[in-house]
Amino acid sequence: MAELPDINTIEHRPQPLSGAHNSEMGPREEWNKKNPPTEALIIKNLKTTELTVRAFRKTKARFYKLGHAIRLQPHLSEIPPLSASVNHRHTTEAVLYIVSGVGHTNISWDGVNKVRIDWEEGDLFGIPLWMWHQHFNDSETESCRYLAIQDTFTVKGFGVHAIERFPEDDADKA
C-alpha cells in the first residue's frame, strides 16, 4: 500500500483575487485584514452594534463568524441618510434582512433594465446570484441598516468568490 501524503507537504494557495478592472476583491480583502470578523455565538442588538467605515462601498459594516460557521457569513451594513452603496454584484447568494430604516434596492442583469425593491424595517428579500444591485437609503434624517447573510465561506472554499462594481460611474445614481 502506498504511503499517505502529508498535508504539510502540500502547498496552500489562497484564492487568487480577480484581476478585472472593476473587481472589488482587493479593497475588500484589505479592509477585512484590518477589520477581521467578530467571532461569537450571538450578537446583541443589531440596531446599535458599532460599525466601521467601509469607504470603498460607501457604507459602514461589520462582518461576523457565528458559531464556528464554515458556510454562511453574515455582515451588518449601514447606509447614511439619502446615500447609496456602490452598484455591484457577487458570486455569493445573499439574503437581506432590514434591521432599521427605509429605502430601496435596484436589481438588474444588465445594469439598465432595473427592478426596484422598496423595503423597510422588518423586511426580508434575496438578491439573485451575480445580479447587479445597489442599495439606497431613502430617509432624509436616519441611517438604515441591513443584515446580509451570504454563502461566502462556501464560495471562497471553491475558489470562485468574486465581487465586481458596475463599470460605469453613472450607476451610482438612483
| Mean pLDDT, all residues of the chain | 88
pLDDT interval class at 23 (50, 70, 90): confident
pLDDT of residue 5: 63
Mean pLDDT (whole number) for 8-13: 64
Q: Could you give the percent of the chain with pLDDT greater than 90?
A: 63
Strongest mean pLDDT among 15-19, 51-55, 98-102:
98-102
Mean pLDDT (whole number) for 83-111: 94
pLDDT of residue 15: 53
Distance CA 72, CA 64 (A): 9
Residue 158, pLDDT > 90, answer no
| Nearest residue to 66 via CA among 43, 41, 44 | 41
Q: Which own/partner pairs from 23-28 qualify as long-range (CB within 8 Å, at least 24 positions apart)?
A: 23/162, 23/163, 23/164, 23/165, 24/56, 24/57, 24/86, 24/88, 24/163, 24/164, 24/165, 25/161, 25/162, 25/163, 27/56, 28/56, 28/163
| Distances in whole angstroms, Cα of residue 31 to Cα of each of 53, 57, 62, 67, 140 | 10, 11, 10, 23, 28
- Taken in order 97, 110, 138, 82, the sign of the CA dihedral is positive
**By CB neighbour count within 10 A (0-12 exposed, 13-18 middle, 19+ buried), where does 5 fall?**
exposed
Residue 153, pLDDT > 60, answer yes
Reported as a single tens digit per residue, the pLDDT across 110-135 is 888 899 999 999 999 999 889 999 99
pLDDT interval class at 170 (50, 70, 90): very low
CATH of domain 20-41+48-172: 2.60.120.10
Residue 174, pLDDT > 80, answer no
Any idea of the CA torsion for 148, 150, 156, 160, to the nearest 10 degrees? -100
The b-or-e profile of 75-97 (16+ CB within 10 A means b, else e) is: bbbbbeeebbbbbbbbbbbbebb
Distance CA 10, CA 17 (A): 21
